[in-house]
Amino acid sequence: MSRSSRPRRRATLATLAAELKVSRTTVSNAYNRPDQLSPELRNRVLAAAKEMGYSGPDPVARSLRMRRADTVGLLLDQPLNYTFRDPAAVDFVAGVADACDAAGRSLLIVPTGGSRDAQAAAEVVNRASVDGFVAYSVSGDNPYLAAALERHVPVVVCDQPTGLEGVVLVGIDDRAAMASLAKHVLAAGHRQIGIMTMRLTTDFRDGVVPLDEALDSTFSVQRDRIQGIADVASDYGDEVSITVMQTGSHNRESGAAAARSIMEVAPNITVLVCTSDVLALGAMTWAAGAGVSVPSDLSITGFDGTRDAQRADLTTVVQPSELKGKRAGEILMSLPAAHSSRSEYLDTTLRQGSTLAPPRRRP
């Protein structure tokens, strides 16, 4: 039955071994432990493999046997086409990919686009052939994250949710970072502050939100950033008035729309402090279109320090998004071993751009 080439069925390690009249171990070794057999034999095996169209051990079978998939799962809070609109998120993903790359692992993007139904989420998460998950900035009640946690595999969370029992977190000190920016805003003389934030709840509503409600959000990142502003504002007592506007979507268009609304609601606002660069850039677009000049008529600040923000010379908080991804990936891959891993907080810096200035003196 030694018909040359074109095997009637997919070649396997066993068929190859049979063909060569060697044991399966030998063939396996040819691929995984070259030092365990003579070079000639190894070459003979490899040559026969090529001839039979065998491209090495089946990765699935290998994973089953080795009990490890060599793959990192990535959990996002929103569909990819949406997530990718945010340069900070893109940088994060690139960072994770980078870490995977360096460790020879693959990166599996879990399809979290669908429903938020717990049942469906669990199914998707449980069907992912991965050794662990990195969750990027998902809400506290994200069902995919819950399912990942249930699965008893290592999980590293980035940004939020914070305070999960026994879960390593990679993030920044959002509250302090925003506070440092807020200090400049208030020191510049601003007292009528508009805050633009992305969603504070899982639904996609937009509009004005009472400050104390915002400070109660399950999205801790937004909440902490707003808290950072409130912290500083409280030093100024009643002088300061804060209006919070939530945008349903996180893209420039929403930012522009939100800027328009908030200025309608509270026209005496002199600064828009945004919880992301994307929203701030949207506000800039609105301002440009509305003939509002920045910063002389209105100051605008961002958060993230994306390349786009740097280009626009935005005053913003710069955080190391790509590094966060890299660290998240690295920590995850070291996790089962180094179970002692502690959460990690990375540094941020303030970028003094040209979009913050003292408020125009009221007539």
Partner DNA sequence: TTGAAAGCGCTAACAG
Partner DNA sequence: CTGTTAGCGCTTTCAA
**Sites of contact with its own copies (CB under 8 A):** 10, 53, 55-64, 69-71, 79-81, 84, 90-91, 93-95, 97-98, 100-102, 104-111, 113-114, 122-124, 126-129, 147, 150-152, 285, 311, 322
104 binds DNA (CB under 7 A): no
* Nearer Cβ to its own copies (265/288): 288
Instruction: Report the half-sphere exposure of 81 (CA within 13 A, side-chain side).
Output: 2
Rounded to an integer, what distance in angstroms lies between the CA atom of residue 276 and that of residue 260? 17
CB of residue 31 to DNA, shortest distance in Å: 6
Instruction: Report the half-sphere exposure of 80 (CA within 13 A, side-chain side).
Output: 7
* Nearer Cβ to its own copies (127/342): 127
* Nearer Cβ to DNA (35/212): 35
CB of residue 233 to its own copies, shortest distance in Å: 33
Helical packing angle, 24-32 and 13-20, nearest 10°: 110
CB of residue 306 to its own copies, shortest distance in Å: 12
* Nearer Cβ to its own copies (93/317): 93
Q: Which does 354 bind (CB under 5 to 8 A by kind): its own copies, DNA, none?
A: none
E-only strand ranges, 14-64: none
How many other β-carbons are positioned within 10 Å of the β-carbon of residue 101? Answer: 13
50 binds DNA (CB under 7 A): no
Distances from the Cα of 85 to the Cαs of 112, 143, 146, 279, 281, in angstroms?
A: 16, 23, 25, 12, 13
Determine which residue in the list 36, 115, 268, 296 makes contact with DNA, applying CB under 7 A.
Answer: 36
65 binds DNA (CB under 7 A): yes
Q: Name the amino acid, one letter, at 162.
A: T
3-state secondary structure of 272: strand
- Residue linked to tokens 């100051």: 299
CB of residue 237 to its own copies, shortest distance in Å: 41
Q: Which does 146 bind (CB under 5 to 8 A by kind): its own copies, DNA, none?
A: none
Rounded to an integer, what distance in angstroms lies between the CA atom of residue 230 and that of residue 212? 10
How many other β-carbons are positioned within 10 Å of the β-carbon of residue 117? Answer: 10
13 binds DNA (CB under 7 A): yes
Helical packing angle, 13-20 and 39-52, nearest 10°: 120
Are 299 and 179 spatial neighbours (Cβ–Cβ below 8 Å)? no
Rounded to an integer, what distance in angstroms lies between the CA atom of residue 341 and that of residue 333? 11
CB of residue 95 to its own copies, shortest distance in Å: 7
Residue 301 has φ and ψ, to the nearest 5°, of -130, 155
Residues 152-211 contacting DNA, CB under 7 A:
none
Tokens read off for 279:
């929203």
Q: Which does 41 bind (CB under 5 to 8 A by kind): its own copies, DNA, none?
A: DNA
CB of residue 133 to DNA, shortest distance in Å: 18
Best CA proximity match to 112, nearest among 85, 136, 86, 87: 136
* Nearer Cβ to DNA (37/350): 37
CB of residue 206 to its own copies, shortest distance in Å: 21
Interacting span for DNA (CB under 7 A) from 20-28, 170-178, 311-319, 346-354: 20-28
14 binds DNA (CB under 7 A): yes
Rounded to an integer, what distance in angstroms lies between the CA atom of residue 280 and that of residue 263? 14
* Nearer Cβ to its own copies (311/342): 311
Q: Which residues bind DNA (CB under 7 A)?
A: 10, 12-14, 21-26, 28-29, 31-32, 35-38, 41, 56-58, 61-62, 64-67
